[in-house]
Structure 1
């Protein structure tokens, strides 16, 4: 699965890594629903760090279609809230 982190580039994620990413996504969504800014910031960074860690960065000149788009690390809680779908940022 090709994931784009806004402002950074694309990362190829193996299907086997989606479960751990979904767990982090659920924690991020819970922090947003609770309105907990500090928890939100920690969870967003944890999710993005895990995507970078488990994934393989694609070359900057790659023209792959992104299946998921994640917010940048400095996104506000309101910006991320707007990006959330029925299944969070990462479906599954």
Structure 2
């Protein structure tokens, strides 16, 4: 899956990391619901760090379409809320359990 972090570029992330990214996305949703700025900042930073850790950056001249777009690290609570309204249930799509 190709994920774009706004202002930072695209990352190719293998599907086997999506469950962990979904957990981090759920934490971000809880932070948004609570309105706790510190929790929000920590959750957003954790999600973006995981995308960069698990993903391989694509070159800047790559023309691959992004499967999803994530906010940048400086995004506000309100900006992420608006993005979520457009996306639906979280920023990272769920995948069926393997097994």
TM-score per shorter chain, which class?
over 0.9
Aligned to 1:46: 46
Aligned to 2:63: 63
TM-score, normalising length: structure 1: 0.98
- Name the count of aligned residue pairs: 92
Unaligned 5+ runs, structure 1: none
TM-score, normalising length: structure 2: 0.91
Secondary structure of 1:69's aligned partner: strand
Unaligned 5+ runs, structure 2: 95-99
Runs of 4+ more than 2 Å apart: none
- Name the larger-Rg structure: 2
For 1:2-59, what per-residue CA distance to the aligned partner results, in whole angstroms no more than 9, with x for missing partners?
A: 0000000000000000000000000001000011100000000000000000000000
